[in-house]
A and B are shown apart, each in its own frame.
Chain A
Amino acid sequence: MAAPEPEAPTPARSRAKDHSPWNWLLFIPIVVPLIPALFNADSPRLFGFPRFYWLQLAWIILGVATTTLVYQMTKKRGDR
């Protein structure tokens, strides 16, 4: 497999095609769920759930909202 290319290979550098300022938002749902100081407590309880549990489950909504927003804002419109 993989015959060598006839031409000199171009160095693979990521171009600006995938780049969008919206992508920076993705750091929020990566960093926030990893800060125990935010959620490692019992009070306030919500429907009997200590904060540790309901707040971490709420991060799921944070993750979904952020990725959906980034997807919608970076979606290619029309033809390419």
Chain B
Amino acid sequence: MWRDHLTEIIVFTFLFLLVSAMGFVAARWRAPRDMAHLDEWGLGGRNFGGWITWFLVGGDLYTAYTFVAVPALVFGAGAMGFFAVPYTIVIYPMVFLVLCRLWSVSHRHGYVTPADFVRNRFDSPVLALLVAITGIVATMPYIALQLVGIESVLKTMGVTGDNALARHLPIIIAFAILAAYTYQSGLRAPALIAFVKDSLIYIVILVAIIYLPYKLGGWGDIFNAADAKFKASPAPGDGILLNANNQLQYVTLAFGSALALFLYPHSITGVLASRNRDVIKRNMSALPAYSLLLGLIALLGYMAIAAGVKPLPGAKAGSVDSNTVVPLLFDQQFPSWFAGVAYAAIGIGALVPAAIMSIAAANLFTRNIYKEYLKRDASPAQEAQVSKVTSLLVKVGALAFIIFLDPQFSIDLQLIGGVIILQTLPAVALGLYTRWFHRGALIAGWVAGMGMGMWMLYQIANPATGKKHFAGSAFPLSEFGFDTKKTIYVGIVAVLVNLVVAALGTLVLRAAKVTGGVDHTTSDDYFADEGDPRVTPGTDRDADSAREPVA
């Protein structure tokens, strides 16, 4: 009953309204000369310094859903759920140099999206369209999942209803407010809110990792309780350590997820909004602070086991919603006012990435579909306007996902999203280093990788839940004819197929002397930095996004 949670609801609502007000005020923060430009609305003026970028990208990558789902996975499966830690460690050294190149070439040419870059690098609107659509499709379910994060909190506070509309009314209101201030303030809104969100999360987690072990008998007891639970369970893959069969999955999932992370349009949006290359490099060193946070949050799953938390029932009869374990743990262990703060941290934590993701998806639509195919001579003001409206539609779409479909569908789609966004790796990430690949071969590789990924995901069943297809990302190698119980992450195999096809296709097309188009970037573009000539935002801001370098 919600009345039992009144204090929590009041604290939650107060903090939620506070950040909403900040979201509207953000339009005037670091006020632009002219907001009617995609560089301003969609990239916050391309001028964020080290601290803002740290909060923004941190708030963007480590989403509310992550904070709810990772401990839920640890609660259910144990060590496997801890893959999020190596995943978010290897990512930063891996992209340390890559993102600097992307930043430089994007600022010199005014690119707003990764597809803008691909279009000019490979002289191929078709390849750019594929990259853009891949980005939008991968991002949509991710936004929907942020709602799952908020809902897990609302559910725990007893804010539920008898029918679908009453149950979803709170998140509809929350998203309407979010949509309104994103529309008005653009990327400045999540950048400003991220300060509050991350501060709250850091406070909550610091308290949780000191106070909860004290209440639950210490870390040793917590791990022992988890160990006892997994030893008693019949499932073969769980445990507080990995077993011989899931180590390969653990490593490939961590590595594949890391490869995928900075291909997501919302990650790139955060990076392109930074002021110079130094800001990016410093952030690659400082962002792992969030990984520490994530690792500790993951362990909340074990604390929930030690505290004897029983997850709330799920949407379908007989199922449980394991995403509620962390909110329930807080509800059970913390005084209500502090549980309210913790819930607000999760709720607000959903708003920051949801805003950035919708902006990133809207930018992709505007730059690579609207401007490319619908209105070639769109002015910067028109681009900004289209992007603003699209960001609203994207949020309505995400809401519809949650209201009309089983949330499990969004979770499945997000799983697929990680696999499909990886298929843009050859064009976007390798494209930053080499133009060796032929544009036609990159398209063929994308098609092959997608096909392979979809087929593999389709084959994956989970006997425990009775799902026959799309029941996870761990592909049994026995399907390939190997005599083993080992599993591997689908995305890695799919992107390898993609690369092989792209490489072979390039050799064939070269041999057939098919033209590869013109590279509109020069090698010097990849090292440009703040203060260089023709680096946006420059003094001569005539907003011609595709200004070419003078030879």
Contact = CB atoms under 8 A, between A and B. Distances in A.
Q: Do A and B come from one complex?
A: yes
Contact of A29 (B93, B97, B242, B247): B93
A59 to B, nearest CB: 5
Contacts of B219: 47-49
Q: Is the interface of B mostly helix, strand, loop or mixed?
A: helix
A51 to B, nearest CB: 9
Contacts of B288: 60, 63-64
A12 B295 contact: no
B120 interface: yes
A34 B291 CA distance: 15
B201 interface: no
B183 interface: no
Contact of B284 (A1, A48, A57, A67): A67
B295 A56 contact: yes
Interface in A12-64: 12-15, 17-18, 23, 26-30, 33-36, 40-42, 45, 47-50, 52-53, 56-57, 59-60, 62-64
Contacts of A80: 529
A62 B97 CA distance: 18
Contacts of B250: 36
B119 interface: yes
B127 interface: no
Interface in B516-549: 518-527, 529, 545-546, 548-549
Interface string B125-137: 0000000000000
Given A2-B546, A48-B223, A70-B96, A11 B435 contact: yes
Contacts of B254: 33-34
Nearest to B286: A64
Interface residues of B, number: 64
A40 B285 contact: no
Nearest to A68: B285
B427 interface: no
A1 B97 contact: no
A7 B37 CA distance: 30
A63 B288 CA distance: 8
- Among A64, A66, A70, the one with the most B-chain Cβ atoms within 10 Å of its Cβ is A64
Contact of A17 (B521, B527, B545): B527
Contacts of B213: 48
Contacts of A34: 86, 90, 251, 254-255
Contacts of A18: 97, 100-101, 526-527
A71 B285 contact: yes
Contacts of B518: 4-5, 9
A78 interface: no
B330 interface: no
Contact of B433 (A14, A23, A27, A66): A14
Interface in B266-317: 278, 281-282, 284-286, 288-289, 291-292, 295, 299
Contacts of B526: 12, 14, 18
A5 B96 contact: no
Given A50-B223, A59-B89, A9 B519 contact: yes
B222 interface: yes
Contacts of A7: 551
B79 interface: yes
A19 to B, nearest CB: 9
Give me the 5 closest cross-chain CB pairs, A-B, nearest first: A48-B219, A48-B220, A1-B546, A33-B86, A26-B93
Interface of B: 79, 82, 85-86, 89-90, 92-94, 96-97, 100-101, 119-121, 213, 218-223, 240-242, 247, 250-251, 254-255, 278, 281-282, 284-286, 288-289, 291-292, 295, 299, 371, 376, 433-435, 518-527, 529, 545-546, 548-549, 551
Given A12-B525, A26-B93, A53-B299, 12 more contacts: A5-B549, A6-B551, A11-B435, A17-B527, A23-B97, A29-B90, A50-B223, A52-B79, A53-B223, A59-B89, A60-B291, A70-B96
